[in-house]
């Protein structure tokens, strides 16, 4: 029997790959955290509207999934 605390080589490679991907995503998020272009008020309002619309769609989808499954 292998002790529970010993990790397999696959597990180590898998976790290293996941850790590297998380690091890459964090670097990209830091790079693009602040917008480089100026947006007008109307563009900001339109983007906010799209965000709200998408959130509502996801909530409706989740509601339908829950009501159909249960």
Residue 32 is assigned to a structural domain of this protein: yes
Note whether residue 3 is domain-resident. no
Q: How many structural domains does the chain have? A: 1
Q: Is 48 domain-assigned?
A: yes
Q: Is the pLDDT of residue 5 over 90?
A: no
Examine residue 35 and state whether it is found in any structural domain, yes or no: yes
Q: What is the pLDDT of residue 56?
A: 98
Closest CA to 9 of 66, 17, 21, 57: 17
pTM of the model: 0.52
Residue range of the domain that includes 30:
9-69
DSSP states of 9-25 as a string?
HHHHHHHHHHHHHHHHH
pLDDT tens-digit profile of 10-61?
888 889 999 999 999 999 999 998 878 888 999 999 999 999 999 999 999 9
Position 16 in a domain: yes
Asked if residue 64 is part of any domain, the answer here is: yes
Say how far apart CA 68 and CA 62 lie, in whole Å.
Answer: 10
pLDDT for 26 equals 96
């Amino acid at each position: 029997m292998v002790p529970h605390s010993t990790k397999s080589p696959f597990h180590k490679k898998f976790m290293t790959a996941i850790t590297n991907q998380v690091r890459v995503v964090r670097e990209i998020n830091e790079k693009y955290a602040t917008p480089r272009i100026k947006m007008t008020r109307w563009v900001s309002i339109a983007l906010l509207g799209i965000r709200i619309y998408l959130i509502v769609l996801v909530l409706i989808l989740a509601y339908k999934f829950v009501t159909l499954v249960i």
